[in-house]
A and B are shown apart, each in its own frame.
Chain A
Amino acid sequence: MEKKKNNKKIYMALGAVGRNLGLTLFGLFALFPLVWMVLCAFKSDAQMYNTVFRFTPTLDNFYAVLVRTDYFKAFFQNLVVAGGAVIITVIAGVPCAYALARYDFKKKEDVAFQILSFKFAPEIMVILPIFLIFQKIGLYDSYFGLIWVYQLITMPLLIWVVRGYFEDISVEVEQAAQLDGYAWYEVFLKTLLPLIKPGLVASGLLAFIFAWNSFTFPLILSGFKIQTITITALRYISSDTVHYGQVAVASTIAVLPEVIVALFIQKHLVRGLSFGAVKG
């Protein structure tokens, strides 16, 4: 009996060690590209190919990217475009999601699917006609044009998640609030908004990240006036040589907002999306 108990303890200890080992390995595997990128950012072009972990760190790349080019302008413009896209999405998407959840109209499910299907089409497929149209009507290379077209990326996700949230709230809660003496906008602000908040925050931030990362649209639809950082990063690949160090710096800084956002809202994100996903 005593022996049996001892054996059990040993097995449990072994199990714990094994689990932790596995997790560590996975952590290394997942984080390695990021680490590699950061390392590259500190390497000079000369040491780029002949060193791994031991090299003389230099800030030359940072200097080259941040001071000698207008990287910050691109960073700011990216912020405006992605942020603007999310704001428009929230303003238009929440009422749309509400309508899809609550009202019964003809072809409702078809409309809902249509919105979702924007997400299916590869961007490259629609980019050429949009490019031509935008040039004709003067939206090419403008904030407005980009924000508009970004709705294709941000809107479907938000509508789909928030609709699930609205469907989870029983109609009676709204009716109760009305009987309690609240006008419709108060019902929305005081009762519905707090209830959809997790989904709204999660899908809004995810939409922001998607918009932030978008590459195809700004590549074609923006020129000199508006530049996003995903495009800017390409500039360091010149015809004769590729400045990997500078690309790494540009990417590292581009990733920062996302990492910060992700860390802050980690819990929110998982809970918010999985809750909606069950219904949606």
Chain B
Amino acid sequence: MAQIELCNITKKYKKNTALDDISITIKDNEFFVLFGPAGAGKTTLLKIIAGAEFPQEGLVKIDGKIVNHMESKDRNISMVFENYALYPNLTVYDNIASPMRSRLYRKDENDIKTAVNKVTELMKINHLLERKPSQLSNGQRQRVALGRCLVRNPSVFLMDEPLAHLDAKLRHMMRGELKEMQTSINSTTIYVTHDYTEAMSLADRIAVLNKGKIVQLGTAQEMYFTPRNEFVACLFGEPEINIIEAQIYHESEKVYCKAFNQDVFLYPGTDVGKILTGEERSRVDMGIRGTDIEIAFERPGDDWLEGCVYANEPIGNKVIMTLTAAGNKIAITCPNDTKADLDATVYFKINMDKVLFFDSETKEFITRSDMKKYKKGEETDT
């Protein structure tokens, strides 16, 4: 139960700036995700909130109180570290019991036992209680670390990649468990990840970090459907969004695009067309996800583009087909019985209503069809 305010946080290591003027307000009880590539400064930000690192500039406030100089033990925070940070000399049981044995949060041994048993059952590690961390696999260690974090009822949970070292199956399951737990724990949670599915699934709000700066702050849906720039667009979605360079042509009232040096007219939606007409552009970057491209083996119509199969990867419930067209690669999600020979010629059609338009110079987001629909989503969320 705490609101966290970060005001103009700047952190430098020698000459490298890890965090550059970060200001965020994380609401009480919010599940907040810090998302970004490696080295973006996510972990540093988390440690600053925990009190394990100190910013050169800026204020950290918990519930309105400035805590810059408060020791971490007094902040009532519990944290999962990416390298687990388990006590190597203690058993799993003692590791998890540790927060409840400190002077600040002391409980009697019976309560500790019930609490530890509850949390270890949830994490499916109750058969490992007597082991030392060195005898565990990475996945098990991670669950112990998560257990140690969840056993207490702090005002803030900080989680640094808590699922990163689990295998896909366990990660899927634990994500579900975390998500379900979210409703029952009354605490603000800040969660660091580089996995977009975790971010989208768990977050109330997401902050995308890159090189120590916040690139975009908003809900998962905003990130996915109206990313601020190509960088954010590429972070969300698997396979990665296709960025296609296109030329804009004005034809009386209408605007159309051409791509891949092919003589196929691509008409954007009228609302997009208006915006594109207003600006004197000759080029634009189109972002289109693999799910929004259709594929065919015979050309069904004039508005279909031509490509060459570069790779064809069945991954169970779908097939990811990669085409090449004029040197560009385009990844397309197809049904799981699609088969194609490498280097065969195929045809594809872009669903122009789903295209995200970016400025080809600045890579900033311009517009997309149905902006209202996605803007409305924003209003209801805030």
Contacts and interface: CB of A to CB of B under 8 A. Distances in A.
B99 interface: yes
Interface in A153-191: 170-173, 175-183, 186, 191
Contacts of B181: none
A179 B78 contact: yes
A31 to B, nearest CB: 37
Nearest to B53: A175
A178 B103 contact: no
Interface string B98-113: 1100111100000000
Contact of A173 (B73, B78, B87, B99): B87
Contacts of B52: 171-172, 175, 178-179
B86 interface: yes
B87 A181 contact: no
A194 interface: yes
A80 interface: no
Given A179-B78, A181-B102, A173 B50 contact: no
A181 B47 CA distance: 16
A183 B71 CA distance: 9
A183 B75 CA distance: 12
A181 B98 CA distance: 9
Interface of B is mostly: loop
Interface in B59-102: 71-73, 75, 77-79, 81, 83-89, 98-99, 102
A179 B86 contact: no
B89 A181 contact: no
A239 to B, nearest CB: 58
Contacts of A173: 85-88
B313 to A, nearest CB: 38
B87 A186 contact: no
Closest 9 CB pairs of A and B: A181-B102, A172-B85, A181-B104, A175-B52, A180-B99, A176-B85, A172-B81, A194-B89, A178-B72
Interface of A: 170-173, 175-183, 186, 191, 194-195
Interface of B: 47, 50-52, 71-73, 75, 77-79, 81, 83-89, 98-99, 102-105, 148
28 contacts: A170-B85, A172-B52, A172-B81, A173-B87, A175-B47, A175-B50, A175-B52, A175-B72, A175-B85, A176-B87, A178-B51, A178-B52, A178-B72, A179-B50, A179-B51, A179-B52, A179-B73, A179-B77, A179-B79, A180-B99, A180-B102, A180-B148, A181-B73, A181-B99, A181-B105, A182-B73, A195-B88, A195-B89
